[in-house]
Amino acid sequence: MKIDKAYCNELKESITPYLARELYFDEESEYYGQKLNFSCDSNECSVELVGVNIYNEKKPKKALHYRTKKNLKHSSECDYFLKNSGASQTEVNKKRKEEGFKITRYPSEFLLNRPKTSNRSSGNVKIEEYEEEIEPFVRNIAGSSGSSSKESVLKTSSLENMVDCYLHGDFDILNNQNLTIGNKTKKFMHFFKKIKYYQDEIGLIYWGNVKEIKKYGKNYRIVFKDRPTVDNISYSVSIYIENELIEKYRKRKLFRSQIDSIIDTQEEVLCFFVGTYPQFIEVEKNKEKFKVLGVTIDNLDHIAFTFGV
Ligand SMILES: [Zn+2]
């Protein structure tokens, strides 16, 4: 069985695979480089789970999740086991169900600024994703089984979490559930915009295929394949990333490794970014001046890649 939340033995809390990934790659985290131990978070069960895709530097296009360790089974009293044995499982959006894994938790807000905590050890979980209890009528989709009178909402600063929901989530939920980013709230699905059509709206999550990465010393330029058309002229669009920004990033090794992988890879790579918007900049080449579209990123939490198909 594949699920998207697990009890972490070390943290003594239930966490998403995105937080497990964050802790593993955050060089300032006390769990940096440490593969944590997970078990089912149902009260009636404590079967051991393992993370799938969590520790891959090259984040695959597939969604992160947990699965039951080989040859082990959930207790027959386990909530997940009971949910999965019902009829409801067969009727969900089959074409988007990935090898038996179904996303069940969709963030209601992407936090552009990762909340800070002064208490590093116990606050680690809460700053990455936190859940608040809300009345169920505020969010009545996603098939609440309704035993408690309140439901929780998930807020996250993981762009990869947003991307996985977009690429693999249930269409009905994506089209109906609200998502908030900054001062904008709209349906989850409508927050994602191909870079080619960036002019449609400001303040969204833009994405496209990476054409190439150009290296300028220790700085990089990520060039998109698609060229947006402005006033009947098509323009190259790219993101320029300075070494200085990478150096002060808490996941600098991961970021560099991803960038270097893209330079070498023949695989399809998608790049997503948020919190910024393409702007025209004038560049000079061979004494000729021309305009290109540039994206300025000042927070590397606002960019995410997926590798492969
Ligand atoms: Zn279980």
Give pLDDT tens digits for 197-256.
999 999 999 999 999 999 999 999 999 999 999 999 999 999 999 999 999 999 999 999
Interior angle at CA 160, CA 9 and CA 74, nearest 5: 35
Whole-number Å distance, alpha carbon 9 to ligand 1 midpoint, is: 15
Compute the distance from residue 101 Cα to the ligand 1 centre, in Å. Answer: 15
Residues in the chain: 309
Ligand 1 center from residue 120 Cα (angstroms): 30
Please give the distance, rounded to the nearest whole angstrom, from the Cα atom of residue 167 to the centre of ligand 1: 26
If 0-12 CB within 10 Å is exposed, 13-18 middle and 19+ buried, where does residue 272 land? buried
Amino acid type, 126: K
Q: How far is the CA of 20 from the centre of ligand 1 (A)?
A: 19
Residue 17 Cα, ligand 1 centroid: separation in angstroms? 16
CATH 2.40.160 fits 193-307, yes or no: no
d(CA 242, CA 298): 9
Tell me how far apart the alpha carbons of residues 147 and 143 are, in angstroms, rounded to a whole number: 12
Dist. CA 65–CA 152, nearest whole Å: 19
The token pair that represents 14 in the structure block = 């239930």
Most confident range, picked from 26-30, 95-99, 141-145 = 26-30
Locate CATH 2.40.50 in the chain. 193-307
Distance (Å) from CA 5 to ligand 1 centroid: 11
pLDDT value of position 115: 77
Question: Given this model, what pLDDT does residue 68 score?
Answer: 93
* Predicted local confidence at residue 119, as pLDDT: 52
106 CA → ligand 1 middle, Å: 21
Dihedral of alpha carbons 73, 146, 164, 84, sign = positive
Alpha helices in 248-292 (DSSP H): 252-264
- C-alpha 39 to ligand 1 mean position (Å): 8
Structure tokens at 122: 């116990």
Type of residue found at 32: Y
pTM: 0.88
Which phi and psi (to 5°) does residue 66 adopt? -115, 150
- pLDDT tens-digit series, residues 8-37: 999 888 899 999 999 999 999 889 999 999
What local confidence, expressed as pLDDT, does residue 170 receive? 94
- CB 47, CB 78: distance < 8 Å: yes
pLDDT band at 147 (very low <50, low <70, confident <90, very high): very low
Phi/psi for 136 (5° steps) reads -65, -25
> What pLDDT does residue 88 have?
46
Q: How far is the CA of 117 from the centre of ligand 1 (A)?
A: 32
pLDDT for residue 126 is more than 70? no
How far apart are the CA of 145 and the centre of ligand 1, in A? 17
Percent of the chain with pLDDT over 90: 66
What percent of the chain has pLDDT above 70? 83
Q: Is the pLDDT of residue 149 over 50?
A: no
Strand partners for 283:
290
Tell me, what's the pLDDT at 67? 94
For ligand 1, the distance from its centroid to the CA atom of residue 108, given in whole angstroms, is: 25
Strand-pairing partners, residue 265, are none
